[in-house]
Structure 1
Amino acid sequence: MELRQLQYFVKVARKQHVTQAAEELHVAQSAVSRQIHQLEEELGVQLFVQKGRNLQLTSVGKLFLGRVEGILTDLERAVNEIHEYLDPECGEIRIGFPHSLGIYLLPTVVAHFRKNYPNVKFRLRQGTFNSLIRDVYKGEIDLAFISPFPDKHEHVTGELLLNEELYAIVPQGHVLAEYQTIRLEQLKDDSFVMFSEEYSLRTIVLDACQQAGFSPQIGFEGEETDTIRGLVAAGMGVSLLPEMALMEISELQPVKVRVTEPQVTRSIGLVHRKGEKLPLVAEVFRQFLLDFFGH
């Protein structure tokens, strides 16, 4: 069994198409097909079945894929660790983040870090709370910015970096647009533009509304802070967004108002896999972040 066979197998499994896999691998389609066939012969099982124009994994193929992805991830990390050992300032940091932190926080800390470590590369992955935890646990990323920060978790550990305030946002011309501060209950009769269910910010907003004594009327849902902000600015409702998500100025801009009762915040932390030593360059970045946020 060759490494190339495993790499081709994973690529075909992800693309579900030999031609597309071959194009990304920059090899002939016949070469990919031959390697997959040889792998199946060596294992004595069928890894794929044809379904229309696509290939789908068999049940044993799905089992094999999980193991192979783990092997390739470990191999990649081993190669990176060797490179970092030779020169830890030229390694690669694999880091995940939620969309709301990709607008301001992530670019800011990366820019500051690269002033001292200009040759370090970053591989970035955006995701939701659950997907980022999973990617850290599976070893697909080294570190992840996460919100809310989990105080205790079976598979990951880390540090709380900061707590960020959430502001109410309302359209221009809204009856509360001229206020400096409001109580959240003052929005109980408004339609809310809310995050989709898989996003942690939705839970934070729902919990805050319940604390204020009402359940919000949800008129629209979105998956990114830019979408939420734009819909509110267009007069489609009101919402709550983190302060960092409101720093970018756009043509359609809602009005932000501080909420004092209750004050709404979210915790932001940095997590890595529990019980496992970080690659050298990732540990350097982790220490930089702790210093950056005053820990």
Structure 2
Amino acid sequence: MDDPLTTNLLALAPRLALLDALVDESNLTRAAAIVGVPQPTASRWLTELAEHLGTPVVSRIGRGIRLTHAGQQLAESARRASAELRLGLRAALSEADPERGHVSLAFLHTMGGVRVPELLAGFRAAHPGVRFTLVQGASEDLLHRLSIGEADLVLTAPLPVHDPGFETSAIAKQPLVAVVPTGHPLAARARVGLTELIESEFVSLKPGFGLRRIIDDLFAQAGCTPRVSFEGEEADTLRGMVAARLGVAILPESEPLPNPGTIEIPLHPAAFREIGLAWSADRTLAPVVRMFRDYVERSSDRT
């Protein structure tokens, strides 16, 4: 075997999981435990890697270690490779028995209260053997996870319809409402315009969340800019801040009921966010993932 690259790849392959663990751990003993090997074995692997590459992959910091630049490069590749391997294994297993397959579903925090639990309950009633890994986060983070293979499907808004790396399926339009505290001067209104809200301080999601992007676009179209005093990461937190009279918010209509201490007012003109599923355009969906995607699409047709 004269090809040095092939030699290095063969030496690296059994050690990918260790490098992946070292991305999050600065302690070799803990990283070795995650991988399931003794600490001396993990230490020997790192030494052998350094010998194969001609450069160290870790450096010592007191009692801990950190990855060198070369180690970081390998670790990033290892993480991507591990994600691809997990996808391949799940696909192979679900081909053998889709009813005992696995789906990694990522979704926005605002969909975790009612929508996602209802979808999972309905699907599991017909397919009780299917397992799920659930991940919540901001839209950009979820799509990144999807792009690197850490998620099979993403339930998000807005949908990345202009990104060729994703395929999408719209499933619902969710009304956006003004959320104000009880007793607010606008609380008795049947509808409210965006320009009427800018006199109040706002609480909003942080930049990077899809809903924040939608709301910023709505205000830009209305020719006004809200005074955002507080930024958070979860809609429920924002609703609590509104109830505490720290500001008003634009949020999806509550499912099923508004929080105590808050009033939800439809916007005029009406505004919505389109929610739906996204998946990688570059990977073939495993049979169990296709089953769940099709179920979600059929469920949206019934609503």
TM-score, length of structure 2 as denominator length: 0.89
Give the 4+ runs in structure 1 shifted more than 4 A: none
Q: Does 1:279 align with 2:286?
A: yes
**Could you report, residue by residue, the CA deviation over 1:15-56 in whole angstroms, capped at 9, with x for unpaired residues?**
122133234345443332233223333333211122344422
Q: Which moved more, 1:58-67 or 1:119-128?
A: 58-67
SS at 1:293's partner residue? helix
Q: Does 1:234 align with 2:241?
A: no
- Structure 1 residue 2, shift from structure 2 partner: 6.5
User: 1:6 corresponds to which residue?
Assistant: 16
User: 1:30 corresponds to which residue?
Assistant: 40
CA distance in 1, matches of 2:261, 2:24: 40
Matches within 5 A, 1:1-295: 1=11, 3-244=13-254, 246-247=255-256, 252-260=260-268, 262-294=269-301
SS at 2:179's partner residue? strand
CA distance in 2, matches of 1:219, 1:185: 17
- Structure 1 residue 120, shift from structure 2 partner: 0.3
For residue 274 of structure 2, what is the amino acid of its counterpart?
Answer: S
Distance 1:77 1:183, change over 3 A: closer
CA distance in 2, matches of 1:137, 1:2: 24
- Structure 1 residue 254, shift from structure 2 partner: 1.2
For residue 247 of structure 1, what is the amino acid of its counterpart?
Answer: P
CA distance in 2, matches of 1:140, 1:293: 25
The percentage of counterpart residues that share the same residue type is 30
Q: Which moved more, 1:133-142 or 1:110-119?
A: 133-142
For residue 60 of structure 2, what is the amino acid of its counterpart?
Answer: Q
- Structure 1 residue 167, shift from structure 2 partner: 0.8
**Could you report, residue by residue, the CA deviation over 1:146-166 in whole angstroms, capped at 9, with x for unpaired residues?**
210122203111211111111
TM-score, length of structure 1 as denominator length: 0.91
Stretches of structure 1 that go unaligned for 5 or more consecutive residues are none
RMSD between aligned alpha carbons?
2.0
CA distance in 1, matches of 2:69, 2:257: 47
